Amino acid sequence: MEKQELKTLLRNIKDSKYAVPDGVNPYKLSLELMDYIGDIDDELRNDLVFDVLVEWIMQDVLTPEEAHDIFMTALDEKYIFNGLGKFDDMVFCRTFSVEVAACVIYKHRNPFSDSDILKAFNAVLKYYNEDKDVRGFVEGKSWAHGAAHGADALMELAQCPIIEYEELKDILDSIYKKVNINYYAYINNEDERMISVVKEVLGRDIIPVGEIEEWIRSFGNIEKTGILPDDLFIEFNVTLFLKSLYFRLVDNTKYEQMAKVVKEVLKKISRFGND
């Protein structure tokens, strides 16, 4: 289907509250939509293709088996690893593929086999650890949101029973590395999306509190290079993450001690004194 024809069809679907048009097979169309999941046209990629896929998954227009096929497509290396490590337009394919996977896990977490969840975990973790293009908003092309979309997928995976101690530790390590970058400043609420992952890990009550506190303390060891603005970027990212984490923990008595540890680390790294 030509791009303009597809856009017209998808606009009509949205205008009809995502009802399937006569003569359209939603499963076949969904597979075709995955070919456009990384298109640089923001309306097509974000407002139409992604929105229709998500609504059809969430509204059970696609059966669990059909949603599973979309899930496996998103996790294919041609999608989630497309151009991995590069800074170019292929980032949109990776970031929106991982967000589609997150949506399917949210909807169909329980029926999926352990092997499917573990495959998804390994793919998402590899993507999150190795992708360097963490741009949030790209001028003229709108949202890429690699750090945020990848965090959404990790958040869903952290809730799966098959994901246990070692995997949860890997998730925290991945978040740590994603926060501690010195070439981009997170200004698009990426910190909050990453903290949502941390909260799900904490909620599993599998990793001992002492290990979580040591993980928090590790943010006090900012690796600076003496180069500007690189050092300011990493300092900003770590400080913002910890401040946001503090306010997500402080009002819950269960995490009161953790919040104190966060506050201690913030005082340690503050360049404006500890008053």
What's the average pLDDT block by block, 10 residues per block, for the chain (275 residues)?
95 98 97 98 98 98 97 97 96 98 94 94 98 96 97 98 98 98 97 98 98 98 95 98 98 96 96 69
Scanning 59-113, the segments in alpha helix (DSSP H) are 64-74, 91-108
Q: In sequence order, what DSSP letters do the residues of 199-227 get, joined into one string?
A: HHHHHTT-S-HHHHHHHHHGGG-----S-
- Give yes or no for a contact between 94 and 84, defined as CB atoms under 8 angstroms apart: yes
Buried b (16+ CB within 10 A) or exposed e, 255-272: beebbebbeebbeeeeee
pLDDT score for 272: 82
What is the spatial distance between Cα 54 and Cα 66, in angstroms, rounded to a whole number?
13
* Angle (nearest 5°) at CA 126 between 123 and 131: 120
pTM of the model: 0.96
Distances in whole angstroms, Cα of residue 59 to Cα of each of 24, 27, 62, 105, 179: 17, 13, 8, 14, 34
